[in-house]
Every structure is written in C-alpha cells, then in structure tokens.
Amino acid sequence: MTEKAPSENTVLVGGMILTEPGRTGVVKHEKTLIAEDRLVEVNVSRLTEEVDARIVDCSHCLIMPGLINGHVHAAMSLLRGLADDLPFHRWLNEYIFPAESTHVGPEFVYLGTMISSMEMALNGITTFADGYFHMEHAARAAVDVGLRAVIAQGILDVPAPDAASPGSWKGRMHEFLESCPRDPLISPALFCHSTYLCSPETLRDAAALARELRTLLFCHVSETAPEVDDVAHRYGRRPVEHLDALNILGEGFVAVHAVHLSDREKEMLVEAGVGVVHCPESNMKLAAGACDASGLSRRGVAMGIGTDGPASNNNLDLFEEMRSASLMAKLVTRDPEALDARTVLRMATIDGARVLGMDDRIGSLEPGKFADVIVIDPDRPHLTPMYVPESHLVYAARGSDVRDVIVNGRMVVDHGRITTVDEEEFKARARTMASEIGRGVGLRECGE
C-alpha cells in the first residue's frame, strides 16, 4: 500500500454546479469548501470562515458529483480485446476462463485494476463496485489510484484462480477479509458469480456471511436466456425465484444485469427492495439481451449503471454508458421518452449510490457527504453551444471531457492527468504482462 497523500482544504470557485442530478438543475456556482474528506459548504457566495485552501478555478466548467460505476471486473483490462464478436458462452468458456486460469494471480489483479482505475478516474468515475478474484490486490490498486471502491471477492463452485478446489471459497474469503486494506476508501463485499455457478448452499452461506459482516452481496442474475433455462431446469425455478426461495433477496443484495425477468420476478425485486445494476453495453456486445431498465425504474427499483468488465464492453466510460442505456431503452421500448437524460444521470450518481447502500455518503453534493466531485470542461466544439447541460452530459459528452476529479477530498485527476500514481510505469508493466498472455493465444501485445 502506498502512502496516502495528506488531505487538505480545497475551495472550488466559479462555473456551474449540478448538486443532485434529476432533482436540482444546473445553477451558477459561487464557492464550495472541501475540508479533509468532506464537503463543508456547497455553492455559497461567502465562506463562513477564512480558510487556508487550495483554490480550484472552475470558471466556465460544470461541477457535479463523481460518477458511480455499479459493476466492473476491473482487472480484466489485461484481457480487453483478446476475444470479441463471439457468443457469450464461447467467449466465457473458450477464451476468458482459460486465460484466467493460466494468468490470474495477485500481480495480474493489481496491475489490471491499476489500468482500469486510471481509466475510470480519467473518465470521472469516483466510486466503482468491483467483483473478481484475489480482491485484496484490487483494493490496493483502488487505494493507490485514490478511488472509492466496493471490493467484492468472487465466489464460485468451480475452480477459481484463487480457490483451486470447488467449495474452498470460505478459506479464500477469510484470507481476503484478513488482508484487504483497511482504508476509508474501501468497502469489502461478496460476489457470488451466478445461480448457475454457485450451489444453493454456497448462495445461502454467502448471504449469511454478508449479513453477519453487514456487507453487500453481488450476483450476476439472469444475464442470458440459456442461464435462465439452465437454472429453471436444475431447480425448477427461474433465477430470481430461486434466490427468493433461498431467502437471499433483500437489503444488501445487488442483482447485476437482470435482463431476462418474468413479471413475477420483477415484482419480487420490488418487494424485496433489491437494487439492480444495468450494464447496457456489455449486454449488447455479448448479445445477452436487453434489461427492461425503464420498466424496472418506473416500478421503483433502485437502478444503478455499470460498465461490466473491460473485456466485454470494452471501455469504462460512464458518460457513454449513460448514453447507451438511454438509446437502448428508446430502441427496445420504441419510446423516445424512455430513460431520459435526468433519469440516467441519477442512475450514474445518487441512484447508483442507493444500490450500494451509500446514498447517505456519496452520489450528490451536500455538506457532510464525502467530497467526491468532478469538474467537466464544456469548452469544446462538441459541447458548444449548450442549452441544457444535463442533455449534453448524457447525449454528447465523454469521459475525456472531465478535467478534474476529487475523491475523498483528494485531487486524483488534475487537468486531465492522474496525480496519484505514475501512469507510464503501470502501462509499461501491463504491456509486459500482456505480452505473455498474448503469446498463449497467438497474439502479440502491440501497444509498445
């Protein structure tokens, strides 16, 4: 774990501010005071006291809450582009699982998560919910880059890169919980891969452990149609019904994907207060299907938005993901009003925070909340002129429009540059590891 930079006071001055997308509009911004890790005063004309602070000039810029990536397998940046344009189960079983079983270890997870964390930071993502293996090393990377992260250790009943014998996940989980860095940025959690790769006993035990530890439990739920058929065949119930019968649905459970749901299953999610993370680009790319995101949202399900891993997306740009969520919803519902700009902005901020049980701490800019703030520079041809900032954020902007990123009061990106780690060093190390991974499948790493 690298040394943490000391927090300091920061005052943002000028520009425009969007304190809570979808509830407040964009207004003229005067001054916002950040002390240590917290927002102290938001958009006031005069600070209540004199402070010794770094001044960040936000003139002509747009200040908003940092984006929340509700689902990612960050380390998979090292497998990005290794296999595309393939059916889901071939992609997973013939390419991803074999590459993972050969290469995924602590160094892979640390390096891959470093690359993704740098990408996410540059794109204005201040919190991500990660699920993979050797997760204490993912946590190290998030801490080093300076991002807030929910770090969920993967659980499978087939051999995993960090738990060779099926059923050995409990030992691995113990090890993870022992060695995961204790850092204010990190919330440990559990991630059961799915109802088809985790047995009913494993799901029940994992849920009991999550309750005991008061952590989140993530699970891929009904991502593909074959998965639903498989689970229905084995257990006589569709995945959400199966989870309900196991008494797992409820607060703290997060359903990822939720593409193929019956009406009854949708109601079960509503009744149990289960949050859903929608991953539109991954679902499209793998031809998994289309989550009824606008329908679930209308029923009152807390909906976040996720990129999924960089091997099935293949980028971690949540501005683009908001746009894709909205465009996909309009396409499949044939309703151009579906998932409008304000709704998807909420999914990527305050509603995403709600799914992670963190809406009292992040997701909007309010005094007392953590200072997770991004500054967007709209002085570019593709954002000029600007009538409705929320429209531009969803329908025209991209991660590269983010100028500054503050997480927990710390400046992680300053004028488009990562300040916390040496980007060049980690890209070089990632390329070296990728050369070896590529060799295994007859490909060359060619970014050098």
Q: Which of residues 238-297 bind a second copy (CB under 8 A)?
A: 281, 283-287, 289-290
Is 233 an interacting residue with respect to a second copy (CB under 8 A)? no
Residue 14 Cβ vs a second copy, minimum distance, rounded to whole Å: 12
Residues 419-438 that bind a second copy (CB under 8 A): 423, 427, 430-431, 433-434, 438
Size of the site for a second copy (CB under 8 A): 82
Cβ(440)–Cβ(99) under 8 Å? yes
Is 384 an interacting residue with respect to a second copy (CB under 8 A)? yes
Residues 116-145 that bind a second copy (CB under 8 A): 116, 118-119, 122-123
Residues 4-33 that bind a second copy (CB under 8 A): 16, 26
Most distant CA pair in the chain, distance: 67
Q: Quick one: which of 19, 32, 69, 77 contacts a second copy (CB under 8 A)?
A: 77
Question: Which of 227/359 has CB closer to a second copy?
Answer: 227
Question: Which of 174/439 has CB closer to a second copy?
Answer: 439
Q: Which stretch binds a second copy (CB under 8 A): 49-57, 126-134, 269-277, 392-400?
A: 392-400
Q: Quick one: which of 102, 168, 391, 419 contacts a second copy (CB under 8 A)?
A: 391
Q: Which stretch binds a second copy (CB under 8 A): 154-162, 165-173, 237-245, 324-332?
A: 324-332
Cβ(403)–Cβ(415) under 8 Å? yes
d(CA 271, CA 250): 9
Is 80 an interacting residue with respect to a second copy (CB under 8 A)? yes
Residues 84-123 that bind a second copy (CB under 8 A): 84-88, 91, 115-116, 118-119, 122-123
Question: Which of 306/389 has CB closer to a second copy?
Answer: 389
Is 387 an interacting residue with respect to a second copy (CB under 8 A)? yes
Provide the H-helix boundaries in 45-194: 88-90, 97-103, 106-122, 135-145, 169-179
* CA 170 to mean position of chain CA atoms: 25
Single-letter amino acid, residue 228: V
Single-letter amino acid, residue 112: G
Residue 38 Cβ vs a second copy, minimum distance, rounded to whole Å: 29
CA angle 291, 75, 399 (to 5 degrees): 65
Q: Quick one: which of 306, 309, 389, 409 contacts a second copy (CB under 8 A)?
A: 389
Long-range contacts of 14-17 (CB under 8 A, 24+ apart): 14/57, 14/58, 14/59, 14/60, 14/61, 15/58, 15/59, 15/60, 15/61, 15/62, 15/63, 15/375, 16/61, 16/62, 16/63, 16/389, 17/42, 17/43, 17/62, 17/63, 17/64, 17/365
d(CA 262, CA 260): 7
Single-letter amino acid, residue 264: R
d(CA 188, CA 152): 6
Q: Quick one: which of 335, 360, 367, 415 contacts a second copy (CB under 8 A)?
A: 335
